[in-house]
Amino acid sequence: MTVVVLAVAAVAAWVSYWHAVAVIEKYGAEDEVSAHLVPATVDGMIYASSMVLLWCARYRLAVPALARWALALGVAATLAANILHGIERGPLAAALAAWPAIALVISYELIMWVVRSGRELADRTHDSGQPERALAEPAPQSVAPEPEPTASQAGQDAPASEVREDGDRRAQVAALLARDPNMTGTALARALGVHESTGRKYRREALNGHSRST
């Protein structure tokens, strides 16, 4: 699916580029080189801002306002160039000439959706309880593993402040999951200000505790 969307975006960008070249040659380019470079700056700005949006979608970062403005300005410029390319032949020709720019914008939005949904599915799969990947190097066989302390021993050995902090954190997890039962471990980690693996661990423990209580 991603390959198809990228192919449509590439074709739309190619047609839109040559429409813009023709418009710039007609309406005041100083030379042929400028006529080819100016549309490249427009498409380059669209590409750069789209890559920023893609990066933010992949890693769940806040999108900078400059990236959104740059994408909007680039889309407006290429859309205007495509409309000017066909306006002299009537409204229908202008609409047909503008279509590559519209297809380009839609393709970019579809790519963003594919990345965001893929990240969300990966988080849900991980949070569903699948075992994590084992370490590449096995533990030495000659050394016997130390027995894990029981819950009572852990409570006795840990300082009272740590036990109280852990209880408060689990209460926060329970409250967040009560408001949004579908909250992923990644979203939970962001809300608590902890690492993603810790957020996933808290989510699994909370869900396992709820299933045992019911």
Domain residue spans in the chain?
Answer: 2-127, 152-213
> What per-residue confidence (pLDDT) applies to 64?
92
Of 9-18, 72-81, 109-118, 160-169, the range with the lowest mean pLDDT is 160-169
Distances (CA, A) of 23 to 19, 67, 81, 121: 6, 26, 6, 44
Write down how long the chain is. Answer: 214
State the Cα–Cα distance between residues 46 and 50, nearest whole angstrom.
Answer: 6
- Assigned token pair, 109: 């939005």
- Assigned token pair, 73: 């300005």
- CA 169 from chain centre, in angstroms, equals 28
How confident is the model over 6-28, as pLDDT tens digits? Answer: 787 788 878 888 888 888 888 87
> Which class for 21: exposed (0-12), middle (13-18), buried (19 or more C-beta within 10 A)?
buried
Task: Tell me: pLDDT of 160 over 70.
Answer: no
Of 37-41, 108-112, 123-127, the range with the lowest mean pLDDT is 123-127
> What per-residue confidence (pLDDT) applies to 59?
78
pTM for this prediction: 0.50
DSSP 76-130: HHHHHHHHHHHHTT-HHHHHHHHHHHHHHHHHHHHHHHHHHHHHHHHHHHHHTTP
CB of 82 closer than 8 Å to CB of 19: yes
Name, in order, each residue with C-beta under 8 angstroms of 125's C-beta and a sequence gap of 6 or more. Answer: none
> What per-residue confidence (pLDDT) applies to 175?
81
> What per-residue confidence (pLDDT) applies to 4?
74
Eight-state DSSP code of residue 184: -
Of 65-69, 140-144, 161-165, 207-211, the range with the lowest mean pLDDT is 140-144
